Amino acid sequence: MKRRQALQLAGLSALGLAAVRPGSADAKPYSPPLNHEQPTIPGMPFNSYHSPPLTPFVDELPRLPKVISPTRMVAAGGRHRFHRDLGRAPSAGFGGLSHHGPTIETQAGTEPQIRFVNNLRSHPMAIDVDTTLHGVSEKDRHRPPLVIHLHGAPNRPEHDGFPTSPFRLGRGVDYRFTNPPHACPLWYHDHSMGTTRLSIYAGLSGHYHVRDQWDTGTRDNPLGLPAGGYETALIISDKLFYPDGKMRYDNTWTVPTGHWAGGLCGDTMVVNGKVWPRMPVDRGLYRFRILSASQLNDYRLSLSDGSTFWVIGSDGGLLDAPVPVKALNVAAAERYDILVDFSRYRPGQKVQLVNSMQISMFGQMNGALMVRPVMRFDVGSRTGRYQRVPDRLRGGRGLPDRLPPRHTGHDNHRIATLNVTVNPRNLSWLGVLNMNLNDLDWATKDFEHPVQGTTECWDIVNSDATMQSHSLHVHLVQYRVVGRWDFDKVRYLAENPPPVLGTRWTPDPTDYLTSEMFNPAPYEFGWKDTVRCPPNQVTRIMVRWPTAAELGFDPDAVFTGLNNEKLQGYVWHCHLTNHEDNEMMQRMRVVAPGRHTGFIEVPGAGGHHGGGHGH
């Protein structure tokens, strides 16, 4: 206990001593540390599939169209050309686009209603559907399911996109979303049980930007942020292609096509549906709204010449002030809002956005390699409209309020473990290896019941023995990242061996911590709904669960699903979509004080798992 108390006190002290506060006069550009990432494994056998050779920077970056408060959005298949030298290939998109969807723009504090229509006649990735995963059937190949999730919003449970409640071809569903009370970059995507990785990879994702009285998106916005043609939404993912231009999802011959393989490492970077695009820019300040639609890999983004750029916001909205950085770590499903100043460049200069994050260990073992180029900016001779990085974004006259403190008292403490263990109920190819939370599967009755109006401290232990970074998303809420510790994972696992899948396993990591708590990156100081959980670390977040009165609805209400089943609650999961499709997702109920929190069985909530057998 003495050691535990000492480490906790040291951690609290470190919170006040870490990186310079965003916007302070002596702020220096921040670079993420490199000591907690995937190691590089030399001499691995070459057994990956690869895309045909493609010349980078020959296609111009597509600008995703913007739609203001739409009332109808159709998801449909199409044919999309990802590169000048590739043929048109099956893809999927929203709103008439062949890949991705338009950027939806709407107002803070409103409750827009959008009718989503499923016009998907076959899945572009039908060959990769694995019917041994929970909730998946042969029907998913040729009548794809659709579940819409507005990621990061405090939605009513019936409109949050419960993964076991899909709708299929020819049906339209009205989603009534709940916008946060302030500007922020959300996104919408398919959330179907067991096929999310394939649907997002196929293109079923799009930006959803909430505006307010400060971040208006107009040229004369009070914050002085670049707008109009100087604000660009980017969706980044790594992909693999067949020679005929079709997207490929099996990246190694060691796992047969159509079987879950733990994750895909692509060998190209695709931005807004184009491989390694180029973007002409004026000599001035640009705002880029970055969304990682990666299915497995994290990215470390920087400019190829090492120039400084500025992070001004994250998942839940603006930071207090711009954070100057040399590099930015982005996990799957995270959003970051950045400013890049091209006025420092001469006309005709070219600078790349590059990635320097090593890919997963298993990707390297299969012969895959890290992809460095992302896109290129070609600087023109024209002077841009915006020339100045704002000093502050919050706190002060004419600005929104400052962010509240990240670390506060809490009512409850939870430990969550991120694992790969054995699933004896699915003996298909690699299905026996199972990604999970707390060593529990989707169908467990032992799920979380946080209480409305309480604040919880979550210590997220990356106990995955594969050295994989994870990306944890909690529905309904935005939370704060408090800090991280290093810990001795080898001893933690040796002294607390995890059981086979199905028994809660959440050993306290305190006695295995090997460092003081250190601050998250300064660009993680804002509101978050997805947090990067690096290998060999414990990540602490602080979550405040809203009350029914604050939300204007009961988050624990039983509701009728899209197929007339009774459902209840929300979900939390790893947003490496390969992982959430194979048991790394659980239900949760956000209960009223004093309400029964025992384990309930809601008909239809379990879906399918392990070989397609009903639960």
pTM confidence score:
0.93
CA distances from 160 to 109, 152, 261, 291 (A): 17, 10, 28, 20
* pLDDT score for 34: 76
Rounded CA-CA distance 149/369 in Å is: 32
- Res. 95 pLDDT band, cuts 50 70 90: very high
* pLDDT score for 365: 78
User: pLDDT for 396-433, tens place per residue?
Assistant: 899 999 999 988 799 999 999 999 877 777 655 555 67
* pLDDT score for 368: 84
- Res. 250 pLDDT band, cuts 50 70 90: confident
Per DSSP, the three-state class of 201 is helix
User: pLDDT for 425-484, tens place per residue?
Assistant: 765 555 567 889 999 999 999 999 999 999 999 999 999 988 899 999 999 999 999 999
User: pLDDT for 521-534, tens place per residue?
Assistant: 999 999 999 999 99
Tokens of 423: 């699933």
- The residue ranking higher by pLDDT, 297 or 40, is 297
Rounded CA-CA distance 214/217 in Å is: 9
* pLDDT score for 364: 82
User: In the chain, what are the domains?
Assistant: 412-614 (2.60.40.420)
- Res. 601 pLDDT band, cuts 50 70 90: very low
* pLDDT score for 608: 34
Q: What does the DSSP assignment read for 137-199?
A: -THHHHS--B-EEEETS---GGGS--TT--B-TT-EEEEE----SS-EEEEEEE--TTTHHHH
What single letter denotes the amino acid at residue 497? P
* pLDDT score for 259: 87
User: pLDDT for 107-151, tens place per residue?
Assistant: 999 999 999 999 999 999 999 999 989 899 999 999 999 999 999
Percent of the chain with pLDDT over 70: 90
Rounded CA-CA distance 53/63 in Å is: 25
What single letter denotes the amino acid at residue 596? H
Per DSSP, the three-state class of 4 is helix
CB contact burial 5-24 (16+ within 10 A = b; e otherwise): eebeeebeebbeeebeebbe
- The residue ranking higher by pLDDT, 367 or 328, is 328
Per DSSP, the three-state class of 466 is coil
pLDDT of 596 > 70? The answer is no
